[in-house]
Every structure is written in C-alpha cells, then in structure tokens.
Amino acid sequence: MNMNLLETPIEYLKGVGPQRGDLLRKELSIHKYGDLLNLYPNRYIDRTRYYKINQLTNSNSEVQIVGKIIHIKTVEQGKGKSRLVATFVDETGQMELVWFQGQKWIRESLKLNVVYVIFGKVTQFGATFNMAHPELELLETHKSSLRSAMQPVYPSTEKLTNKGINSRVISKLMQQLFLETQALFSETLPQSLIDELKLIPKNAALFNIHFPKSQDLLAKAQFRLKFEELFFIQLQLISKNLIRKHKIKGQPFEKVGTNFTNFYNNHLPFELTNAQKKVLKEIRNDLGSHAQMNRLLQGDVGSGKTIVALMCMLLAKDNGFQSCLMAPTEILATQHYNGLIELLNNENKSLNINIKLLTGSTKTSDRKLLHEELENGTLDILIGTHAVLEDKVQFQNLGLAIIDEQHRFGVEQRSKLWRKASIPPHVLVMTATPIPRTLAMSLYGDLDISVIDELPPGRKPIQTVHRYDSHRLQVWKFLKDEIAKGRQIYIVYPLIQESEKMDFKDLMDGYESISRDFPLPTYSVSMVHGKMKPADKEAEMKRFAEGKTNIMIATTVIEVGVNVPNASVMVIESAERFGLSQLHQLRGRVGRGADQSYCILMTGFKLSEDTKTRLETMVRTNDGFEIAEVDLKLRGPGDIMGTQQSGVLNLQIADLVKDRDILQVARHIAIRILKEDPSMSKPEHVKMKEVFIELTKKKNIWNYIS
C-alpha cells in the first residue's frame, strides 16, 4: 500500500474530526494515521473462555460465565443506602451479582430463570464469590453478536475518558483505520529473515495485535512486532558503532613508552587482577587501532577502575597526548585526584607527571597557571568536574577523555569535551553502577563494553545481615566490640525529599539516642546531612577520615565516593526505604581495608514482598550485576536509571525486562546483517534500508532514549 496514507493527519479519519484529533494529539501523541496504528493495546480481555462457578479463584481478573438468575433481593446497608443482590447459578454452584447504582432500572430489566452470559471482575467474600456491576447479555444475543474474541484494552488518560474517548471508542477508530487502509501494510523485513525466525507477515501482525482471533495469533503478532522494534534500534546502534570505527579516525597510540612501563614495573601497589589485565588489553587494542575508542568500563565499587584509568592516561602521555578525567561531583573529582597523586608518588619513587585539579572552587590564580599549562602542553592530566567543559578550558592536544559515572552526564556534554580536540579523543566511560546486560545492550549499544568482575586480592567479601528494630541492643553491643578493635562505623538514615521534615527528625532523634548510648569521652560521634554548610560537612568528613570520630551518622550524602579504609561497619536504618542499587552502593563504602567488614540492614516488622526480595538479595550476594538484574525485574527499566537519567527507551511494544531474549536475537541478527552488508544495499535489504532511513530521520536513536 502506499505509505503516504499513513501520513494522513488523524482528524481526517471518520469518527475523529478536529476536536477529538486535538485531544488525541495532546494526550497520546497521535498526529497521523500511522501513530494510531502503532498505539498497541496494554492488555486483552479474553472472551474466548467461559468459566464454571466452581473454577473461580480470587484472582481479581475478569471472567465470563453462563448461567441463570434464580433470586433477587434488596439489602439495606444503613444510612439510607442499599444494594441489589441477585443469586446466579450454573450446574456447578452459585454466586452473587451486586449493584450499587441504577437499582430500580436493573431490577425491572432482569429476567429470572433465563440463560445469561455475565462478564466482570470476581471477588471473594468468605466462601461466596461475587461480581459487582456485571455486563449481562442474553445467551441468544451473545451468540449472534459479532465481536473479537480477545478484546483489546487501549492506553487512555483521565482527560480522554472524561471526553468519552475510552478503549471501546479507540477500538472503533482502529476498525475504521483498517477499513480505510484496506489493511495493506508494506513488509519491512527481508523475506529470508521472516523465514528464518518463522515470523508472521507485517499485515497479519498488525491485524492480530488489534483484533486477535486467538491467543496463539496474538502471541505471534506480539513476537513479530517486538522483534522488529528492537531490531531497528539495534541496527541504529550497531551501524553507529561501525561508522565510528571506519569513519572517525582516532589518534593511534602506537607505542608503550617509559611512563607506562615504569609505572607497571615499579609503582603498582598490588598485582593486577586477571579482570584488570583483560580490560587493559581490550583498551590497548582499541588505542592502538586507527579507530576512535568508545568503551564503557563497568566495575563494582572498589574493583580498581582508577588504576586502569591511570594506565590509559600514561599511555596517552607516552604518545605525546594530554588526558582529562571528568567526575560528576567535587568530592569525587578531588578523590580521584588524591588517589592518582598517591599512585604516582608511592615509596618516594615519583613519576614525572604534571597532574592538576579543576573544580568550581579552584582559585583564580591557580586557574590562570592551569590554563597556560594546558595550552602549552606541559600539563599531562587534568581531573575535574563540569568546570572542564567551560570554553576557557583549551587543550594543546587532548588524546583521551575519561568520564566517570556516565549517567550523570548527557550526550551533549560528552560531545562538548570532544570539540576541545582537533581529532576526536578516545573515550572511556566508567561506572560503578552495574548495568544489567539487557539494558547495557540497549542504552550503550554503541559503546564497546568491558567489565572488571573480580575484586583486588586481600579484599574480604562484606558480610550482610538483616535485623529488626527489636534487635537494636545486640546490634549496639556488636558496634561497641568493633570500635574496641579500633574500627569505625557508618550509620545511614534515609532522606526522601517529600518527607524531609520527618526524615530530619528521625536523623536528629537517631543522633541523640546514639550519643546517649555511645557517650563521650569513650566515644565520639560525627554527623553529616544536607542542611549543613559545605564547609561544615567537609570538616566532619575529615574528622571521620582521620579517625578522630568513631561513628559517622549521615543521610545518603556519603553514597558517592568516600574512602575510609578503617570503616568496617555500615548500618542502614529503615533499609526498607532504600532501593536495591542504593543499598548496594552504600554497602560499598565499607570493606575497603583488610579487615572483615559488615553491613547491617535495620527494618521494622511490616515489610512488603518486594522489600523482602530486596533484603534477601542483599544478604545473599555481593555481586553488583546480580543485584542489578533483580533490581531491573522489580522496578522495570524506567526507574533503574533514575528520573534524571537519559536512559530509558521509549518503546511502543517491547519491554526490556520481559523481552530480553528477543533483544538478544535482534542484536545478534543486526550484527550479522551489517557485517555481511554494511551499507544495506543488497536487493533483499532495500525495504529494510528504507525503513531504517525513515526511522533515523524521525526517530534518531536519541529520541528513543528519552
């Protein structure tokens, strides 16, 4: 069919018109015929199955039953209210039908001892099932009326429902759309692929997603459309990656010079783990090739990403290039800076590397020197926050850009950094937030991925336990024993914006009772929270880091990057109020020294199923990737990346969690097709290429990533 028909503005569809058209545009982003076609139902009501009363379960789902009404009565409910109750029977048992509204009219229209088909939600009270406000239809009428056995339920909004555009109306408009277009839609995938995966044709898939004839056809339609959606996204990501490797020439770092070898031989604080060696090898291959590196380095808290980053920067220096490391916060940038200085100057053997820090609070006089050194090339490594992106910051020859905690920086900011170099620098993105493979394949599908999946030697796995508030005395005794061994403790309270006042009170009450239970002069307690001045926060942090206080009470401020190797216990209060990834990040603040470390999750007794799963997962495993997988199942992809995240795919039908198997097939096939035919110019790929170009025009991959 000619695709132009799908470009027709939606108000021209019979039954829509200007007013409805306006609403559909505003509420559901439906601008033209094609958008309506791609509005897929959320769920379906199965009218193919008839239940018997003795098969009912208390599942709150909608069911259809054939039977008779044998008795009707009005039941008073007090306060002048009443309900109408009918006894409904089939050959297996009886149940009740209930009406709260329109009783007079319903009572007059109900017929006794005639066969009805009823439909609605069933709930159970005691031993009796009942259905409130059922749809009723005489069996005769039911048999003669034509209807799709599986009824689609479309997404709607309050505004649409108020204006009478409910799921039924949308379904009618859909029928009209299929009439006007004669349901002839062009095929978008190569025939060989359709045969290989036994996919149903595009026409059949679109018809059965809106008007499924059976469960089986519905499943086939869903598979076909989900596959197609994920396949075209993967085509975009992978072709981008290939284009970058062929077209964007990187600076080849040809040689491994004295800085790298000197550091490797004389300055390594410990033997690199096999995972670190593997990752370094992957990075060195990238840097030595003539293409631009674009790699995501994932490693749990404390897995030693910093050393890998430093060794890459030394390679850049050996090849005559400058490097830049950008972190999201001042605390993190400063910590990277101090960590690198320490690595470079260990045991009085100093490597001659000029390294400087640039943040919002760098003094003007220091900045002036820093800018000069950057431009004349004497500054080798610049560590900084967003301040690095300012126009004033100019490099002589930037060869490597490292970005820590990528999800805090948008794509925009990455490209700003690139523009500071004549040839695009190599890019290494680091994150301590383990991203499940499924999400990584979609969100960072254009990056090559490296993973450090083992901890450095000498690190003991953190022991995690869950304790209820009633065990507090035993927990406090344990803390006193740890302090007696010379260890330090974190106690973290949740802070959730909406209830800040209440949380602040919890924190203050906590601080007071802990100060009573751990009194001066034997113990000393620090506190850090969001209402403090930055200078006071820093001072308290410093006292704790220097070992002057035994206990640090804090809201989640300490989540990112505080390194106190002597702290061995992390107590998380009201642990039920934290997400899984947050709990895991907090736990990573201890276990940085050689001592056995502990994480204690404190909660009340009332816990939801999800919370129990979260706590059990924390107690069971220290593996960030496993935790991320569980988190993804519990929360769905939208929340994982947080709301400020550029990172959730706007998918119309596929679901990254449930359809991960389809995603893997789609990625695998996209890679295979692009390897065989990078420009998609073979005759059988013509149609696919057209769709690809259309999508890229309309939906650049960044529009998918909302």
CATH number at residue 482: 3.40.50.300
Q: Which residues pair with 65 in a beta bridge?
A: 51, 118
Helices (H), 12-166: 17-28, 33-37, 103-109, 139-144, 158-162
Of 95, 128, 146, the residue that ends a domain is: 146
For residue 341, give the amino acid letter.
Answer: I
Confidence check: pLDDT of 227 > 90: yes
Same domain? 315 vs 401: yes
Q: Are 550 and 518 in contact (CB under 8 A)?
A: yes
Same domain? 441 vs 564: no
Same domain? 472 vs 437: no
**What secondary structure does DSSP assign to 528-594, as a single string?**
E-TTS-HHHHHHHHHHHHTTS-SEEEESGGGGS----TTEEEEEETTGGGS-HHHHHHHHTTS--SS
Confidence check: pLDDT of 62 > 70: yes
Q: Does 21 map to a domain?
A: no
Query: Which pLDDT value is given to residue 642?
Result: 40
198: left (phi over 0), alpha (psi -120 to 50) or beta: left
Least reliable range by pLDDT among 231-240, 327-336, 379-388, 594-603 = 327-336
Confidence check: pLDDT of 480 > 80: yes
215: left (phi over 0), alpha (psi -120 to 50) or beta: alpha
Only one residue has tokens 């284009």, namely 243
Average pLDDT over residues 52-78: 89
Q: Does 245 map to a domain?
A: no
Average pLDDT over the chain, rounded to an integer:
86
* CA distances from residue 369 to 62, 241, 341, 412, 615 in whole angstroms, order as listed: 72, 38, 19, 28, 51
Same domain? 423 vs 470: no
Query: Which pLDDT value is given to residue 331?
Result: 76
Of 574, 596, 621, the residue that ends a domain is: 621
Q: Which residues pair with 554 in a beta bridge?
A: 492, 528
94 vs 237 pLDDT, higher one: 94
Identify the CATH number of the domain in which residue 103 sits.
2.40.50.140
Residue in 254, 325, 248 with CA at minimum distance from that of residue 294: 248
Same domain? 500 vs 384: no
Predicted TM-score (pTM) of the model is 0.64
Same domain? 444 vs 526: no
Query: Which pLDDT value is given to residue 705?
Result: 41
Same domain? 419 vs 509: no
Query: Which pLDDT value is given to residue 645?
Result: 37
Same domain? 595 vs 508: yes
Tell me the C-alpha distance between 391 and 375, whole Å. 13
Least reliable range by pLDDT among 231-245, 271-285, 663-677 = 231-245
Query: Which pLDDT value is given to residue 3?
Result: 58
Q: Which of 485-494, 578-587, 631-640 has the highest mean pLDDT?
A: 485-494
Q: Does 198 map to a domain?
A: no
Q: Does 155 map to a domain?
A: no
Whether the bond into 521 is cis, omega within 30 of 0: yes
Q: Does 26 map to a domain?
A: no
- 3-class DSSP state for residue 255? coil
Query: Which pLDDT value is given to residue 158?
Result: 86
> Cβ atoms within 10 A of the Cβ of 219, count?
12
Tell me the C-alpha distance between 316 and 257, whole Å. 10
Say how many domains are in the chain: 3
Same domain? 354 vs 293: yes
Range of the domain at 560: 463-621
Same domain? 440 vs 555: no
- 3-class DSSP state for residue 465? strand
* CA distances from residue 277 to 197, 305, 351, 431 in whole angstroms, order as listed: 39, 11, 22, 18
Query: Which pLDDT value is given to residue 500?
Result: 66
Confidence check: pLDDT of 656 > 90: no
Q: What are phi and psi of 381, to 5 degrees?
A: -130, 130
For residue 58, give the amino acid letter.
Answer: N
699 vs 469 pLDDT, higher one: 469
Taking each helix axis as running N to C, give the angle between helix 580-587 and helix 624-635, from 0 to 180 degrees, rounded to the nearest 10: 160
Tell me the C-alpha distance between 504 and 512, whole Å. 12
- 3-class DSSP state for residue 358? strand
Average pLDDT over residues 388-414: 81
Q: Does 644 map to a domain?
A: no
Q: Does 334 map to a domain?
A: yes
Confidence check: pLDDT of 131 > 70: yes
The model's confidence at residue 5, banded by pLDDT at 50, 70 and 90, is confident
> Cβ atoms within 10 A of the Cβ of 298, count?
25
* CB crowding 6-39: b at 16 or more within 10 Å, else e: beeebbebeebeeebbebbbebbebebbbbbbeb
Q: Are 343 and 309 in contact (CB under 8 A)?
A: no
Tell me the C-alpha distance between 590 and 489, whole Å. 9
Tell me the C-alpha distance between 375 and 311, whole Å. 23
Q: Does 382 map to a domain?
A: yes
How many Cα atoms occupy the beta-carbon half-sphere of 239 within 13 Å?
20
The model's confidence at residue 349, banded by pLDDT at 50, 70 and 90, is low
Tell me the C-alpha distance between 155 and 111, whole Å. 35
Percent pLDDT > 90 in the chain is: 47
Helices (H), 289-427: 305-318, 330-344, 364-376, 411-418
Confidence check: pLDDT of 320 > 70: yes
Q: Are 10 and 31 in contact (CB under 8 A)?
A: yes
Same domain? 409 vs 268: yes
Confidence check: pLDDT of 255 > 80: yes
Query: Which pLDDT value is given to residue 408?
Result: 57
**pLDDT tens-digit series, residues 146-201:** 466 788 889 888 888 888 898 889 999 999 999 998 878 889 999 999 999 999 99
Of 605, 621, 637, the residue that ends a domain is: 621
Degrees to nearest 5, angle at CA 340 with 335 and 344: 155
Same domain? 52 vs 118: yes
